[in-house]
Chain A
């Protein structure tokens, strides 16, 4: 299984600012994913990040609000831009290993609170 770390683990931010979340995997992976988990809710996919190409966003999520970078096969970042209190959530990174066709492994999540 892949070991995934995220930074920061939590943050409290002011309305109108931006936060960049980092996701690091301990092995090369083909696909990385970013999810949002609003308080008491399930996980919703924000976007899929493939190395060497633009991220693919799900309905309701746009690049201007959630820009994503994927500079190599082990790292990705998600930026939450121009934050509002509605962006208060847990943001989770996941990855699927290059030689695995199914299982996604998850990072520990970043708990974001916007005041």
Chain B
């Protein structure tokens, strides 16, 4: 079974600064997807960014980028020029690509607070 570990329960950073959230995972699979989801106080789960394991290039979405280290099974999220609206819980998630087993396994989350 896959496991996802987020070792930072809470983080805070000043507005406009850069912050990195860490995530490690454990799997014996060679092909899979990794995701970062954001959950603001509204509790809506919002996809931030995704990474296919077979791609060596790190995914980027505007101010959000990842550092994917497959050998180390590490998948950190970097938020640049942080904004007040980035305040939320952030969940790292793993998904197997095997047909019929495409469920998401989530980490325990990191509560990020952006300080004005």
Contact = CB atoms under 8 A, between A and B. Distances in A.
Interface in B43-102: 43-47, 50, 52, 91, 95, 97, 102
Interface in A51-108: 58, 90, 92, 94, 96, 101-106, 108
Q: Which DSSP category, helix, strand, loop or mixed, fits chain B's interface?
A: strand
Given A90-B43, A111-B43, A45 B104 contact: yes
Contacts, number: 50
A22 interface: no
Contact of A102 (B46, B95, B108): B95
Contacts of A92: 45
Q: Which DSSP category, helix, strand, loop or mixed, fits chain A's interface?
A: strand
A42 B45 contact: no
Nearest to A96: B102
A24 interface: no
A42 B44 contact: no
Chain B interface extent, by class = 20 to 34
A42 B109 contact: yes
B107 A42 contact: yes
B35 interface: yes
Chain A interface extent, by class = 20 to 34
Contacts of A101: 97, 102
12 contacts: A1-B47, A33-B104, A41-B108, A42-B106, A42-B108, A42-B109, A43-B104, A43-B106, A104-B104, A106-B45, A109-B45, A111-B43
Interface of B: 33, 35, 37, 42-47, 50, 52, 91, 95, 97, 102-109
Interface of A: 1, 31, 33, 41-45, 48, 58, 90, 92, 94, 96, 101-106, 108-109, 111
